Chain A
Amino acid sequence: MAAPKGSVLVVGGGIAGVQAALDLANSGFYVHLVESTAAIGGRMAQLDKTFPTNDCSACILSPKLVECGRHLNINLLTLSDVESVEGEPGAFRVVVRQRPRYVDTEKCLACGTCAEKCPKKVPDDFNLGLGKRKAVYLRFPQAVPLKYAIDPEYCIYINKPGRCGMCAKVCPTGAINLEDTEKKHVLDVGAVILAPGFSAFDPSVLDYTGYGRFPNVVTSMDFERLLSPSGPTEGHLQRPSDKKEPKRIAWLQCIGSRDINRACHGYCSSVCCMYAIKQAVIAREHAGKDVSADIFYMDMRTHGKEFEAYYNRASDEGIAFHRARVHTVSPAADGDLVLRYADEQGRVREEEFDMVVLSVGLELDSRALDLAGRLGVALDADNFIATDTFRPVVTNRPGVYVCGAASEPKDIPQSVMEASAAALEAQRLLHGARWQETRTKEFPPERDVHAEPPRIGVFVCHCGINIAGVVDVKDVTEYAKGLPGVVIAQDNLFTCSQDTIDQMAKTIREHGLNRVVVASCTPRTHEPLFQETLREAGINKFLFEMANIRDQDSWVHQNQPEQATKKAKDLVRMAVAKVARKQPLPYNSVPVFKSALVVGAGVAGMSAALSLADQGFPVTLVERKDRLGGHAVKFYRTWQGAEVKPFLENLSRQVLSHENINVRFGVTVSDVEGSVGRFHTTLSDGSALDHGVAILAVGAESYKPGKGTFARDASSPWGRETFFHGARPDVYTLLELDQVFIKDPSSLSGANQAVFIHCVGSRIPERPYCSRVCCTHAIDQALKLKELNPDMDVIMLYRDIRTYGQREKLYQEARAKGILFVRYDLDHLPKVGEEGGGLVVQAHDPVLDMDVRFNPDFLVLASAVRPRDDVGGLAKLFKCALSEDNFMLEAHMKLRPVDFATDGVYLAGLCHYPKPMDEAIAQAQAAAARAATVLSRDEVPAESVTAEVDTRKCTGCGVCVRICPYHAVSPDPALRVAVVDTGLCKGCGACVAGCRSDAITLKNMGNEQILAAVDAAMEE
């Protein structure tokens, strides 16, 4: 391959595309992000809350969108579709068609005047038609780019030129361009990442759901919008027919999933069980605990991290779970709905509900299908983009990668992981072109203003009529001139317009200003822009303050101009008082050792190490044992049917022979100092190394009944049950059976009957989580037994079958082959005994309500995956936390699934949570991609607004040390005071408020600055 291109095309602006774009742009690549709607954000932007943390979806997503929108090295192409991709890996030529927006994004200030005046109300597609918007619209309040667009389908002018055109008339900046036309972009890129996301299944094809016929039958996506504060009902839960607050809500699961009849989707959509529980929980939060919530399901699939606990909690809170499927939704009086269902014993019940939510499944939408077709990317049998078991984000077309729900239904963290993994594949392919096509911004040297008295410039913005229509801007400007320290005050029509910005820089220089206040909109969107102006004018960017006189003044007091003007003056006075007390701050950064430490040489650790080494970063791979491979050596095959051994041998060979990988066997980590970019780690043999990042991939253990806590705990529902494991040779765990498959499969062919018991050691009070992998693993083994001897009876005693996603096809295949599934619950535990030298297993069939006895030739225990006991020590060394289940705890369950809260430390594999090999590999690659965002730089930026200790006041009491969520404060034992590591400090100030002695402060956000603002607020 000739020198590759240093840019990447990312298709799809949902969370996966955004994450991939950010990881690439932050590791030295230029990104073209193509999104088909008017704003990035995708499905996640439409969700109200996210499970299992109940985080506000838009709130946690928004910062990523803003970062993407502002990124110098991300070219955002909205309203765009990829037409073609020609060429080969490293050198693709891409044609993108961009539909007209009819709004000039350079000029649009998102003031909303156009939408206010637009006469055309149209169904709001962001709200799935549940509400209305105008023909000129902002896709959603936090849209990025925060620019309006005109919907040509509805715009009066566009459909009948010459008519209306109201938006163009009222736009204060002349941003409306009704003659806008389609643009064609030809882009040269080195790699392509597909993140086209999913569509929700349309249940109108299933007449019996009543969808489309009864207004109070809604889809789960509709319901998200009905819960969302930015949705059509402003977060007040109302049912569509009569706006009544529903008090009885039912969820019907598997609508369009696990249905090979009319839905044509045999797979499980993976996320619906959890989102239904979440919606039930949130609905009760919104509309009160007297809301009854009933979920009708087949198998409750809460197989992710903290999911089972969420399910248990919901159940404890009174959400009703019915293991039953409703055939038909029927109407009752006043828009209510009747569900008739048979319970597990076959008793028919009828219940009325105010509202029915259909938990619709996920599918690849038609646009994405077309795109895959155009790009020559292969699909699998379920019409998702096909990938490989050991290369989970690689498509059949070299140089084209896929992430997110486009390759299989999956939740947000899994999508984010894959996004980073896809970024890794692109990094690996293009690392030679790193930083070749990226841009950086240069600034003049800064003037030292320490000794100067404040010389403050105040710039008051009209924002067209957005502010000036309510607030007397001239009056405010005049007022500002008289404030202490103010040298000059000006008013501008649009302070953020390019010419005004240029003028501001000039004014700063000409008047020798050393501090600036802009009174305009909100710092959340505009502070970076003005701060950059300060830098361009040679002033430290922290000598800046904004007065929010639009979003928090003129817009919210539209009918009280006098009061609003008075408030504007107050806000300006507060800002002036505050900025006068600000000091220049350093642009902190930390130099980076460009090497990585990977702990654990299982599949995850080796994959991560290789992913970084292939990019040219030296890696030290530490393994406590004397061999590579970890847990994987015990595995027979993956759920996709690929044998593990050849893959593992190949992977090990690559790791051992790689020039950039130094494998250290038989050692562990014994001490860690430093922080991101500059870790100094000591190993158990006394050797030490410096490294910029660390990836923890230390794996987990298989639970063995009869050993460990399970059998000891008499409070376990199983009591002291050991299932004769260890005592009889015919009782296996899954991994032990895999060993037989590897070594001597024919020894099993003669067996007549085999029984599997699921959930051994999982989903019990002492180990409440689901081990995620065992259902699939056990079923795959059952199928293997059927391969060995089709005549063998294979019986699976299970609680819920959790073959999520496309694993469902194994479950279906197993049933088709006559493998018998008998459900048990904690009230009807299977009993294992001995009889005439053989095993006897007794279970209870809930459908026929009868006891059944089996005499298997052997028994297989699908035993739990449990965290390693020593994981806590390692976590502590890296200042990382553990979850309640003692797995390692990532920084954020949704959006930072491979990061620790400690910067520069990442996690992958089973130490995070039980997961199959493909997911472990994806996570390892993701960790490597995240690590590369650090290793690719000479230094990493650090927070400037950091805490600072006044050692004269500090008593060393340690409150701040304990409070700091980032472990940035530590005690200095010699001086008996606290010390802040500015590389770790994020500037939250929790320590400041916690300190009784006023000994710790936050730079420029100290008591001095805040109280100046408070006092100024109260001056007349």
Chain B
Amino acid sequence: MESSSSKITDEIRAEASRLLSSGEVAAFLGFVPGSLPMTVRPFVARSSEDAARLVWNSFCVMNLANYLPEVLKSVEPPRGPGDPEPEGPLPRVGVLATGCWSRNMVVQIQENRIQRDRVVILGISSRGMVDRKKVLARLGGREALKVEEQDHSLLVSGRAFNEEIPRWEVVRDNCRSCVHPDPVIWDIMIGERAGDRQNANRFAQVEEIESLAPEERWAWFQEEISSCIRCYACRNACPLCYCPTCFVDDSRPQWVGKSIEPVDTAIFHILRAYHCAGRCTDCGACESACPMGIRMRLFTKKLEKDVLEMYGAEAGMDPETPLPLSTFSPDDPQDFIVTGQESPKSTGDEAGRSGEVSQS
């Protein structure tokens, strides 16, 4: 039986080809197979021939939204800084989008990174992408030469072994906790919409850490980031990290030292996560990109949980809902506010109000 991925691949090729040949889009952003098993790479198809190379499988871990602004720019007529805006509508770009990618695109639309009317979105309900690192870990050093994908399992074969791995077990953490697999914006739907997933506890990983004592959490955090080599692959993979000058590169003031001293690394990760607060759609691209296996998603996931619990907001669900940090409600929770009422009974000489001083 044909796997759902290959069916989707066929449909993508057909639609992309149609869009390109009809001129509806100037380019189509998708994936082609990578050089290693279980890898793909983003690919910009500019003709129907190109379109025939596109694939869809469980290893599409890169968030295409990350490349979309660049691709959009690439199809615009060249123009210098002072040049007038080109007349007429600008060329459009086709792109694939799962739930989290489409939500990411919504955020980028809200942040004026992309224009909705310039993208043609082929929506795909995500079944979860496979974490290559998990597969490799199961193989325990054995080299996979070929990985064949079925709907519920992966058939991995290498020198002198064949192994069938249940697919769900090696799906990425972010996908396992995903509740919104369907795209929230799309133009053409590929396959069926699956509907929201009734995930028992999307924040289980976060809650596990929350239940630790402060010192244990600190130890966990230190351990988690200790291997960081400050390569910024996570940042580069993230569609939301697009500042022309990243804070890590700022020198005036210098927010973060460039060393791999633990404090600098810690501040890098704190700020990176914080900058994604209310924006991150948990696409997992950062974690997938990390060469050191750091689970930095947990930091953004924590913020996702807080934003949902405190402000009832989820990033990218609706282009009309302002980003949570650019709005407020008068009734936002504030139980963290200190009032001085827990002030320990003052001791010694700084106590209270001195002497008989008239207040007025």
Contacts and interface: CB of A to CB of B under 8 A. Distances in A.
Direct A–B contact in complex, judged by CB atoms less than 8 Å apart: yes
Interface of A: 112, 115-116, 118, 124, 126, 133-134, 137-141, 143, 230, 557-560, 952-959, 962-963, 971, 974-976, 994, 996-999, 1007-1008, 1011
B115 to A, nearest CB: 11
Nearest to A563: B350
Contacts of A140: 360
Contact of A956 (B112, B275, B349): B112
13 contacts: A115-B357, A115-B358, A115-B360, A116-B358, A140-B360, A230-B360, A557-B350, A560-B349, A955-B111, A957-B111, A958-B326, A996-B243, A1011-B253
Nearest to B247: A998
Contact of B245 (A143, A557, A953): A953
A560 B81 CA distance: 61
Given A116-B358, A230-B359, 20 more contacts: A112-B357, A116-B356, A133-B360, A137-B358, A137-B360, A230-B360, A557-B350, A559-B349, A560-B349, A952-B244, A953-B245, A955-B111, A955-B242, A958-B111, A959-B326, A962-B327, A976-B112, A996-B243, A996-B247, A996-B275
Contacts of A963: 326
A118 B360 CA distance: 13
Contacts, number: 83
A957 B112 contact: yes
Nearest to B242: A955
Given A134-B358, A957-B112, A1007-B253, A997 B327 contact: no
Interface residues of B, number: 29
B355 to A, nearest CB: 7
Q: Is the interface of A mostly helix, strand, loop or mixed?
A: loop
A997 B325 contact: no
B112 A958 contact: yes
A958 B322 CA distance: 11
B332 interface: no
Contacts of A998: 243, 245, 247, 250
B85 interface: yes
A1017 to B, nearest CB: 15
A955 B113 contact: yes
B354 interface: yes
Nearest to B271: A996
A558 B356 CA distance: 13
Listed residue (B113, B242, B243, B360) with the most chain A CB atoms within 10 angstroms of its CB: B360
Contacts of B359: 141, 230
Contacts of A962: 322-323, 326-327
Contacts of A976: 112
Contacts of B112: 955-958, 971, 976
B345 interface: no
Interface string B209-246: 00000000000000000000000000000000011110
Contacts of B275: 996
Nearest to B323: A959
B159 interface: no
Nearest to B275: A996
Contacts of A974: 85
Interface of B: 81, 85, 110-113, 242-245, 247, 250, 252-253, 275, 322-323, 325-327, 349-350, 354-360
Nearest to B83: A974
Contacts of B85: 974
A137 B359 CA distance: 9
B354 A558 contact: yes
B360 A116 contact: no
Given A116-B356, A133-B360, A955 B244 contact: yes
Contacts of A999: 243
B331 to A, nearest CB: 11
A112 B355 CA distance: 13
Contacts of A133: 358, 360
A145 B245 CA distance: 50
A974 B81 CA distance: 9
A924 B44 CA distance: 63
Contacts of B81: 975
A1011 B242 CA distance: 25
A112 B350 CA distance: 20
A115 B360 CA distance: 8
B244 A997 contact: yes
Nearest to B240: A996
A299 B321 CA distance: 42
Contact of B113 (A126, A952, A957, A971): A957
B330 to A, nearest CB: 11
Contacts of B243: 953, 955, 996-999
A946 to B, nearest CB: 20
A975 B84 CA distance: 10
A997 B322 contact: no
* Cβ-closest 9 pairs across A and B: A957-B111, A559-B349, A997-B243, A115-B358, A962-B326, A996-B275, A1011-B253, A138-B360, A959-B326
A999 to B, nearest CB: 8
A956 B323 CA distance: 15
A422 B358 CA distance: 38
A998 to B, nearest CB: 6
A1008 B111 contact: no
A637 to B, nearest CB: 41
B245 A997 contact: yes
Contacts of B250: 998
Nearest to B328: A963
Given A560-B350, A1008-B252, A994 B325 contact: yes
A79 to B, nearest CB: 16
Listed residue (B85, B111, B243, B356) with the most chain A CB atoms within 10 angstroms of its CB: B243
A559 B111 contact: no
